[in-house]
Structure 1
């Protein structure tokens, strides 16, 4: 795989993983590693400071378990390039595959297990840097600190993030990149993360986006029994479908389709829970809201409300 960082940024090549880990502790983030009991691992690492950012491309060459109580004063944006990486956090676990992003808050515990062929790019951002981006854009950052509400993302669904990371890595490989330009890129990526990923920041300067988003939600409520497409919503909001995905991720932490399905299920749950509602049968109400496959509808309903639709109907009617 082509390195995102240049040869001049190579620090270790087929080296002792403990030496690589010690370097990471000094420059990228405090952590501990646990190695397999057998085998001789060959770890590699490239690193460069780019303004206030640190860029690190790393592979341990084996199934290494990486843990940390918390990163404390920094955020990590980790892009998996090769292999897979098992992440455990927030009561769940997920195997990251190439093209997926892991976003780690300063107070998030880190629990990662690399595959033998795992390779990733890590972008380290100081917490103070994101605070400054909020101040520059007149956004309100909570006193307890900025916290992103989701940990994993598909890079392809995030408009502009992939090209921005690629451009920063390209500039980092350049022989002469002015310090002022590095700082500017850093400010751009900080603002991009805050605009793209759902967080606890209040975007007071985005007054125009709130009425627009409210109009989208009103349209969804008025047309819940119809088949609402992402293209329809994007046209209503006068933005591209990819921008619409970013808007929904930022505002409600999910995709437009998932939000619409959730609202349909909530409407059905309300009908089934209302003794005054005239519900002849579950199939009819499910089809009213566009659920044509009753088995999948029942699974989604139970996953959302913890019981089958027939149980809800039986308890309230």
Structure 2
């Protein structure tokens, strides 16, 4: 099945399409130019949509009945209200837009963003945990627990929307579609705090000290921290931390920290304007001041030079 493409400069037709594609809703816009473009890749209950709203559009929508993820590429979504929470989303934000059973309202301000939806029951099936009273798995937070996890989920969504779902061979294979749905659900469970994660905490093979260390690293990637700071945050000695990392992660704390920072460098390179940004400048922001060593580490991790990544962006 080819991706569906909707384009319109008629507010009424746009509202009609959104009602068919998502849920009953009312939209409004005060501008004379109300251009809308929506491309949709879908299979069974899974869909990945790319939306371009070229005006300020208000929305007031009924519950979607599905897990709904939103990733903002440009512009903003403001005054988004659901379940008593009100928030603004900006470029780079990837969020769980609204619980399946809650209505939502807000404003889209000349924004380009994606909407990814799937059956919430899939989370429970993929989690593979025994739930008390057969309670379904739920997301506990609307924002990812780390930037690294958000980037991985973003890559999964891009793969599904750009390559997998539009492929006729994939569309014709129920087994492949089921695997893709499971891939997405697994990525969501790895990205957002959820009730299945809470159930597994007591069975996590990694010590609490490592979990504390990883959380501290994620929160301080742009700070000048060392192994002593990480150990202090984890509540153990430097030697104990190094031993735990080698035993459970097969690396050292500083090597893991470097890997996380290289991921930040790559994310900036991919989003940068090559005519304005430089590899040296981006690397320096993440603590890499020796260009040769950073380049060697980057190439080993990603299989290309950082300058190649920047040129491709």
TM-score category (smaller protein): 0.5 to 0.7
Aligned length: 228
How many Å apart are 1:114 and its aligned residue?
A: 0.4
Which one of the candidate residues 144, 148, 155 is aligned to 1:163?
A: 155
Q: Flag the 1:218–1:156 CA change in 2: closer, same or farther, 3 A.
A: closer
Structure 1 segments unaligned to the other structure (5+ residues): 1-5, 221-225, 245-317
- Measure, in 2, the Cα distance between the counterparts of 1:31 and 1:213: 45
Q: Flag the 1:42–1:188 CA change in 2: closer, same or farther, 3 A.
A: same
Give the root-mean-square deviation of aligned CA atoms: 3.7
> What aligned pairs does 1:283-298 form with structure 2 within 5 A after superposition?
none
1:16 and 2:17 matched: no
1:78 and 2:96 matched: no
TM normalised by structure 2 equals 0.60
Residues 81 and 106 of structure 2 are in contact (CA less than 8 Å); yes or no, is this contact kept in structure 1? yes
- Measure, in 1, the Cα distance between the counterparts of 2:214 and 2:183: 33
Aligned residue for 1:24, secondary structure, equals helix
Which one of the candidate residues 118, 134, 137 is aligned to 1:125?
A: 118
Give per-residue Cα distances to partners, 1:262-296, cap 9 Å, x unaligned: xxxxxxxxxxxxxxxxxxxxxxxxxxxxxxxxxxx
> Residue 267 of structure 2 corresponds to which residue in structure 1?
none
Aligned residue for 1:61, secondary structure, equals strand
Residues 51 and 183 of structure 1 are in contact (CA less than 8 Å); yes or no, is this contact kept in structure 2? no
How many Å apart are 1:139 and its aligned residue?
A: 4.5
> Residue 176 of structure 1 corresponds to which residue in structure 2?
169
How many Å apart are 1:130 and its aligned residue?
A: 2.0
- Measure, in 1, the Cα distance between the counterparts of 2:257 and 2:81: 31
- Measure, in 1, the Cα distance between the counterparts of 2:72 and 2:60: 17
- Measure, in 2, the Cα distance between the counterparts of 1:59 and 1:84: 11
> Residue 199 of structure 1 corresponds to which residue in structure 2?
194
How many Å apart are 1:175 and its aligned residue?
A: 4.0
- Measure, in 2, the Cα distance between the counterparts of 1:54 and 1:153: 20
How many Å apart are 1:100 and its aligned residue?
A: 0.7
- Measure, in 1, the Cα distance between the counterparts of 2:45 and 2:27: 26
Rg comparison, structure with higher value? 1
- Measure, in 1, the Cα distance between the counterparts of 2:133 and 2:257: 30
Residues 12 and 44 of structure 1 are in contact (CA less than 8 Å); yes or no, is this contact kept in structure 2? yes
Residues 6 and 39 of structure 2 are in contact (CA less than 8 Å); yes or no, is this contact kept in structure 1? yes
> What aligned pairs does 1:185-224 form with structure 2 within 5 A after superposition?
185-201=180-196, 208-209=203-204, 212-213=207-208, 216=211
Residues 144 and 191 of structure 2 are in contact (CA less than 8 Å); yes or no, is this contact kept in structure 1? no
1:53 and 2:16 matched: no
- Measure, in 2, the Cα distance between the counterparts of 1:41 and 1:144: 43
Give per-residue Cα distances to partners, 1:89-127, cap 9 Å, x unaligned: 4555332112211202112331221012x1111111112
Residues 3 and 42 of structure 2 are in contact (CA less than 8 Å); yes or no, is this contact kept in structure 1? no
Which one of the candidate residues 129, 146, 150 is aligned to 1:138?
A: 129
Structure 2 segments unaligned to the other structure (5+ residues): 216-226, 235-240, 250-255, 261-313
Aligned residue for 1:163, secondary structure, equals helix
Give per-residue Cα distances to partners, 1:117-146, cap 9 Å, x unaligned: x11111111122223223xx2352775543
- Measure, in 1, the Cα distance between the counterparts of 2:231 and 2:34: 47
Residues 28 and 56 of structure 1 are in contact (CA less than 8 Å); yes or no, is this contact kept in structure 2? no
Q: Flag the 1:31–1:95 CA change in 2: closer, same or farther, 3 A.
A: same
Aligned residue for 1:20, secondary structure, equals helix
- Measure, in 1, the Cα distance between the counterparts of 2:211 and 2:22: 41
How many Å apart are 1:84 and its aligned residue?
A: 0.9
Residues 13 and 43 of structure 1 are in contact (CA less than 8 Å); yes or no, is this contact kept in structure 2? yes
TM normalised by structure 1 equals 0.60
- Measure, in 2, the Cα distance between the counterparts of 1:47 and 1:128: 22
